[in-house]
Copies of this chain bind each other. A is one copy, B any other.
Amino acid sequence: MPVLVMKFGGTSVANLDRIRRAAKRVGVEVAKGYDVIVIVSAMSGKTNEMVGWVNETSPLYDAREYDAVVSSGENVTAGLMALTLQEMDVPARSWQGWQVPLITNSAHSAARIEEIPTDNINAKFGEGMRVAVVAGFQGVSPEGRITTLGRGGSDTTAVAFAAAFDAERCDIYTDVDGVYTTDPRIADKARKLDKIAFEEMLELASLGAKVLQTRSVELAMRYNVKLRVLSSFEEQSDEAGTLVCAEEEIMESNVVNGIAYSRDEAKMTLISVADRPGIAASIFGSLSDAGVNVDMIIQNISEEGRTDMTFSCPTDQVARAEKAMAESKDSGEINFHDLVADIDVAKVSAVGIGMRSQSGVAAKMFKTLCDEGINIKVIATSEIKISVLIDRKYMELAVQSLHDAFELDKAA
C-alpha cells in the first residue's frame, strides 16, 4: 500500500481533544488506503518546560543529559496517539527513536540522521498495522545514548521517514494554514503562498520563519520529497496549505517572496584580534566545537596586525560562545582585547528566487529601512536573500515596511 507521512506539531497535539482531532485526520487517510507513518511532537509547551529545567539546573549542560530529558515529551504524545487510533479501531502502535531505531551521529542536541531501517515498521504494516506512530525529534547514537535533532527536529524526522519509506507525500500539520509572505502576527497584509520553492523555504526557515525546520527542507530538496504545510485546525482538501516544491513547478513568482525575521539573535564582536593566517579557522572552529551556531560573520580591515571580528548567533548561545572564546584566549590560541555581546538585535531578511535575475533589490531594501530611520548594523547576502541586523525595537516596523515596499500582499 502507498505510504503517507503525516507530522503533527506541538499545538496540533496540545491536549487529548487535539490528539483526537489529529487522529481523525489520520483515519481519513487510512480509509483512502494509505499506510500512514505519523510523526508527533511533544504537547506544546512541554519541551520548553524541560529545556527551562535543564538550563536552570546546569547552564552549560551535558548535551547527552539534555537530550535524555527533552526527548521525553514526544514519547508521551506517541503513546497517546497510538491509543487514540486504537480506540477508533485503526491498528496502530508507537515507536520511540531507539526502537525504530532511528540512528543518528553523536552530535547531541543537533544530531544528524544516519539511517532509518524500514524492516521493523514494514513488517508490522505487513501484519495489518495501518499506522506507525513515531516520536519525532529523537534518535539514538551509535553509543546507545538518546540524541535529539535540534528544535523543530520533528519536521526533519518526518521528511527522513518520507524519504526512507518512499512516501507519496509528507504532510506537515501545524497551527498555521501554510507559508506566508511574512509573519501575519507582525504584518496583517501577509499573504498565504500556494507554492514556494525549496530554496526560498530554506532561506525562510533558516531565517526564523518557524513553519519548518531548515534541515527538513534541505532533506526534502535532496530526496525530492513532496512536502505540504497545512493547518490541523481546519477541514482539509488535497490542495490545502502550501506545497513546498522544486523551482520548476512554480510558474510565476515575485522578485521577493517573503520577509523573514529572527528575534533572538546576538551580535558578538571580538575587539582587536591579533590577525594571522588561520585566525578565522581558530575562532570559528572553537565556537563550532562548543556547539555555537554562528550565522553572519564580518571581518573589518586589518590594521597593524589587529582586526575586529563580528559574528551573530542565537542569544541563548552567548554564554557558550563567551566561555569558548575565554578558553581560547587563556590557552593562547586566540589573542583579542575584548568580546562584546549585543543581545538587543534582530535579523530581518528579504527572500526570493527572483533576485537571481533582477537587480536593485538590495538598494530598495536599504532605502526602505533608511526612510524609516532604521540603522543597519550588519549586512549579509546570498543569491536569493538579503539579511540585515538591526536594533530589535525596530524589527516589526522593518518587516512591515519591507512587506509594503516589495508589494508582497499582491500575487505575481
Q: Which A residues contact B (CB, under 8 angstroms)?
A: 16, 19, 50, 53-54, 56-58, 61-62, 64-66, 68-69, 71-73, 75-76, 78-80, 82-84, 86-87, 93-94, 96, 98-99, 144-146
Contacts and interface: CB of A to CB of B under 8 A. Distances in A.
A78 B68 contact: yes
> Which residue, of A78, A80, A96, has the highest number of chain B Cβ atoms within 10 A?
A80
B79 A93 contact: no
Number of copies of this kind of chain in the complex = 2
B61 A83 contact: yes
Given A96-B146, A98-B98, A144-B99, A54 B68 contact: no
A259 B182 CA distance: 67
Given A16-B57, A19-B57, A99-B144, A76 B69 contact: yes
Contacts of A76: 50, 53, 69, 72
A75 B148 CA distance: 14
B96 A83 contact: no
Contact of A75 (B69, B78, B80, B99): B69
A119 to B, nearest CB: 13
Contact of A94 (B50, B65, B87, B98): B65
B65 A83 contact: yes
A82 B62 contact: yes
A70 to B, nearest CB: 8
B57 A83 contact: yes
A89 to B, nearest CB: 12
For the complex of A and B, list the 5 residue pairs with the smallest distance between their C-beta atoms, beginning with the closest: A69-B79, A68-B79, A72-B72, A58-B83, A65-B79
Contacts of A78: 68
Contact of A66 (B50, B58, B79, B87): B79
Contacts of A69: 75-76, 79-80, 83
A57 B86 CA distance: 10
Given A50-B76, A69-B76, A98-B98, 20 more contacts: A16-B53, A16-B56, A16-B57, A19-B57, A54-B80, A57-B83, A57-B84, A58-B84, A58-B86, A61-B83, A62-B82, A65-B79, A65-B83, A66-B79, A68-B79, A68-B94, A69-B75, A71-B75, A96-B146, A99-B145
A404 B86 CA distance: 52
B80 A64 contact: no
B83 A75 contact: no
A104 to B, nearest CB: 15
Contacts of A71: 75
Nearest to A59: B87
29 contacts: A16-B57, A50-B76, A54-B79, A54-B83, A57-B83, A57-B84, A57-B87, A58-B84, A58-B86, A58-B87, A61-B83, A62-B83, A62-B86, A64-B93, A65-B79, A65-B80, A65-B86, A66-B83, A68-B78, A68-B79, A68-B94, A68-B96, A69-B75, A69-B80, A71-B75, A72-B72, A72-B75, A75-B75, A99-B144
